[in-house]
Amino acid sequence: MKFFLDTADIGEIEEAASWGVLAGVTTNPTLYAKIGGKLSDFHAHIKRICEICDGPVSAETVSLDRAGIVREGEELAAIAPNVVVKVPVMPEGLAATKTLSERGIAVNMTLCFTVPQALMAARAGARYVSPFVGRFDDISEDGLEHLGNIVAALRNYVFEHDVEVIAASIRHNQHVVAAALMGADIATVPFAVLQKLVKHPLTDRGLEAFLADWERVKNA
Ligand code: G3P
């Protein structure tokens, strides 16, 4: 499983990239608003992210009609070769995804919650499909069960192009572990989750013991 960072924060992206584990970045309007992003800076901001991370960088469209989504998608794709256009699952989004993918532009279909939505996204030409896990948990449904169903359903079929599942709306380590075990291709995680993924109390305790013993070696 590959790790993407679900953020628009440049500092977080730089730090994760320096660890050598960052395979891509996903952004959305909420994440851009969270860092105080301005409309006039949006394209420059995505360009900066693409310079830090040479993997796929998802930038989301906000139009609701197919022509608008295609126009926005083409503008976003022109920012850098690794931009992936993020499009919500909806009829106009599917139509725009078909057009964009036929024009050689990679699309990540987002706000995906069900198996039929995921299958339609893949059929329309989406290169990535993003099932949301945590938002199901928020409404007391099992987000991981839905993710597992989507991974299993997509695996049953051969598409004309590669389709990768991005487990999104990840809230904690167990989401990531389960996503990996069920074979999700990618987990896009907030930086706070990425930081927790590298930690374990036994690692800390082991390191403490190694360092204490090395002090004994030095003083022997
Ligand atoms: O990038 C989309 C998704 O990961 C959003 O997550 O936490 O807003 O449900 P969340």
Task: Calculate mean pLDDT across residues 28-45.
Answer: 98
92 closest CA partner among 112, 130, 63, 71? 63
Task: Verify whether residue 86 is a known catalytic residue.
Answer: yes
pLDDT digits (tens, 9 = 90+) for 48-69: 999 999 999 999 999 999 999 9
Q: What percent of the chain has pLDDT over 70?
A: 100
- Ligand 1 close to Cβ of residue 187 (< 6 A): no
Q: What percent of the chain has pLDDT over 90?
A: 100
Q: How much is the pLDDT for 213?
A: 98
pLDDT digits (tens, 9 = 90+) for 192-218: 999 999 999 999 999 999 999 999 999
Element (H, E) at 66: helix 66-77
3-state secondary structure of 14: helix
Q: How much is the pLDDT for 31?
A: 98
- Ligand 1 close to Cβ of residue 108 (< 6 A): no
Q: How much is the pLDDT for 155?
A: 96
Amino acid at 117: Q
Secondary structure (DSSP) of 94-153: HHHHHHHHHTT--EEEEEE-SHHHHHHHHHHT-SEEEEBSHHHHHTTS-HHHHHHHHHHH
- Count up the domains in the chain and report the number: 1
pTM of structure: 0.96
Q: Kindly report the CA angle at 25 between 20 and 28, in degrees rounded to 5?
A: 160
| Ligand 1 binding pocket mutation candidate from 4, 6, 138, 147 (most atoms within 8 A of CB) | 6
- Which atom of ligand 1 is nearest to 168's Cα? 4
CATH number at residue 198: 3.20.20.70
Q: How much is the pLDDT for 157?
A: 94
Q: How much is the pLDDT for 216?
A: 97
d(CA 18, CA 217): 32
d(CA 165, CA 205): 36
145 closest CA partner among 153, 133, 135? 133
Place of tokens 């995505």: 46
87 closest CA partner among 126, 53, 115? 126
Q: Which of 34, 38, 47, 86 is catalytic?
A: 86
Axis-axis angle for helices 115-124, 143-155 (nearest 10): 40
Distance from the alpha carbon of residue 74 to the mean position of ligand 1, in angstroms: 24
Place of tokens 């996204």: 121
Work out the mean pLDDT of the chain and round it to a whole number. Answer: 98
Range of the domain at 98: 2-219
d(CA 46, CA 43): 5
pLDDT digits (tens, 9 = 90+) for 147-196: 999 999 999 999 989 999 999 999 999 999 999 999 999 999 999 999 99
- Ligand 1 close to Cβ of residue 6 (< 6 A): yes
Distance from the Cα of residue 204 to its chain's centroid:
29
